[in-house]
Amino acid sequence: MKDRQYRNFIIFWFSQSVSQLGSSMTSFALIIWSYGRTGSAMSVSLMTFCTWLPYIAASIAAGPVIDRYHKKTIMLLADLLAAVCSLTVAALAVSGNLAVWHIFIVNGITGFMNAFQFPAETVAVGMLVPKEKYSQASGLNSFTSSLLTVVTPVMAASLSSFAGLKGVIVFDLATFLFAFSVLLFRIKIPENAGGTEIGKKKEKISVQESWREGLQFLRGHKQLWYLMISMALMNFFSRLTYENILSPMILARSGQNQIALGIVSGILGIGGMAGGLIVSFVKLPKDSVRVIFLSGGISFLLGDFLMGAGQNVLVWGIAGIAASIPIPFIMAGQNVILYRTIPQNMQGRIFAVRNAIQYWTIPTGILLGGFLADYVFEPFMRADGGIQTALHRLTGYGPGSGMAVMFLCTGILGSLSCFLCYKKMKKNG
C-alpha cells in the first residue's frame, strides 16, 4: 500500500514538475518582454512583488478552504485559472494590446490562487508520501526547483527567440494539459485525513476561527513557532541580495559580462540539484532542527560572504555551490518537522498561517534590497573614508562594490540569526 502511494507521488511530482517548467518559462519570457519594453529593472521587481503580495494576503483566508474541500479539486481549479490567465496574455499579445500593467494583474491573480494551491499541494504530498520518505520527497521537490533554475532561462530564451512570447505560452498550455489530465484521471488523493470520513460534511470554519486556531496551534508548539520566525528571517536576508542584486552585482563587477552571469546562475542551479539528489538518496540525521540551522548557517556564511568578497567567476562559482547545496537540507528538515507535528486534518489552516508568517518577509526584502543597493550601499562605497577603504580591501573597487558589501552583511547577519535561532529552539524544544 505504501509503495503504491509513493508511486502515485512520483507520478504526481513528475507531472507537476512538467507544469512548473511551462509556468516558469512563461514568467521568464514575460520578464524579457517587460524589460525590453520598459528598460526598467523596477518593473521586473514589481512583477515579482505583485505575485507575492496577493499570495500572502490570501493565505490568511486559505486555511479553512483547504481543510474543508478536496485538495485535488482545489489544485485543479487553481491550475485551470492559471491557464486562463496565460490564454489572456496570449490573446493580448496576438492583438498587440499587451501592456506591463496587464502582467501585474495576471501575476496578482496567479499569486492569489497560489495561496490555495501550494498549501493544498503540500497537504496532498503528506497524504501520498509515507512518513519515512518525507525527506526524500522534499529532496525531489528541491531538485525540480533547482533544475528549473538552470533550464528555464535557456529554454524560454531559445523558444522566445524564434516563436515569440506566444510560442512560450503555447508550450506552457501544453504542459498544463498534461499535468491537469494526470491529476484528474490518474492521481487519487486520500481525503479521509485525520479520521474524517469521505463524503462526510466537514464543519464550517470561519477565516477568523481558522486564523486563531492556526496561531494557537503554532504558539502552543514552540518549536514550530520559532521555526516559522526563523524561516521568515532566512527569507528576508536571502531576498535582500540573491533575489534582487546578484545579477546586477555580477554584471557591474565583470564589466557587463553576461557569460559570467550565466555561469554563476547555472552553478547555483546545479548546486541546488546536487543538494536535492543528496537529500533524496541519503538518510538525514534525526535531529531536523540541527540540519536546518547548520545548513542555513553554512549557506549564509560561506555562500553570501564569498559572493560579496569574490571578484571573479571562480570565487563566485564556489560561493554559488556553498550557498545552494544546503538549501534542500533546510527544506527537508522543515518538512519533516511540519508533517510529523501537525495533524493532517489541520494541515490546511496551519500551512496557510505558516505561509503568511514565513513569506511576508519576501516582498519586503525584495523592495528593500533594491532600495538599499541603489540609494545606500552603492553611493556609500563611492565616497571616501576609512570604512570604505577597509571594505574595499575585501570587495575591491568600482561599480558593484556596494552590492558586494550587502552580501557581506547578509552573510554575517544570516549566519548569526541561524545560530541564535538554533539556540532558542533547542532551549524551548
pLDDT of residue 292: 93
Q: How far apart are CA 429 and CA 415, in angstroms?
A: 20
The torsion angle over the Cα atoms of residues 367, 372, 378 and 380, rounded to 10 degrees, is 170
Other Cβ atoms within 10 Å of 216 Cβ, number: 11
Q: What is the pLDDT along the chain (429 residues), one digit of tens a residue?
A: 566 777 888 898 899 989 988 888 888 788 777 767 776 556 666 787 888 888 888 877 777 778 777 888 999 998 999 899 989 998 998 888 888 889 899 989 988 988 888 888 888 888 888 877 878 888 888 888 877 877 877 787 778 777 888 888 999 999 999 999 999 998 888 765 443 433 444 456 666 777 777 788 888 888 888 888 999 999 999 888 886 678 788 888 888 776 787 788 788 888 988 998 898 888 888 888 999 999 999 999 999 999 999 989 999 999 999 999 999 999 889 888 888 888 877 777 787 788 888 888 888 888 888 788 888 888 998 888 888 888 888 888 888 899 899 999 999 999 999 999 898 887 765
Question: What pTM was computed for the model?
Answer: 0.76
pLDDT of residue 178: 95
Other Cβ atoms within 10 Å of 93 Cβ, number: 19
**What crossing angle do the helices spanning 401-428 and 222-241 adopt, rounded to 10°?**
180
DSSP result, 299-351: IIIIIIHHHHH--SHHHHHHHHHHHHTTHHHHHHHHHHHHHHHS-GGGHHHHH
Nine-digit cell string for 209: 476561527
Alpha-carbon separation of residue 403 from 53, 188, 339, 362, 416 (angstroms): 25, 48, 38, 18, 20
pLDDT of residue 197: 38
pLDDT of residue 194: 41
Q: How far apart are CA 337 and CA 357, in angstroms?
A: 17
**How many residues does this entry show for the chain?**
429
- The CATH number, out of the four listed (1.20.1250, 1.10.8, 3.30.565, 3.40.1710), of the domain defined by the range 214-429: 1.20.1250
Other Cβ atoms within 10 Å of 212 Cβ, number: 14
The three-point CA angle 105-108-114 to 5° equals 145
Other Cβ atoms within 10 Å of 223 Cβ, number: 17
Helix (H) or strand (E) holding 379: helix 378-382
pLDDT of residue 193: 45
Question: How many H helices and E strands in the chain?
Answer: 18, 0
CATH number 3.40.50.2000 is the correct assignment for the domain at 1-186: no
User: What residues does CATH 1.20.1250.20 cover in the chain?
Assistant: 1-186
Nearest to 421 by CA among 243, 237, 244: 237
Q: How far apart are CA 59 and CA 63, in angstroms?
A: 7
pLDDT of residue 373: 84
Q: How far apart are CA 141 and CA 151, in angstroms?
A: 15
User: 404 and 395 in contact (C-beta within 8 Å)?
Assistant: yes
pLDDT of residue 200: 41
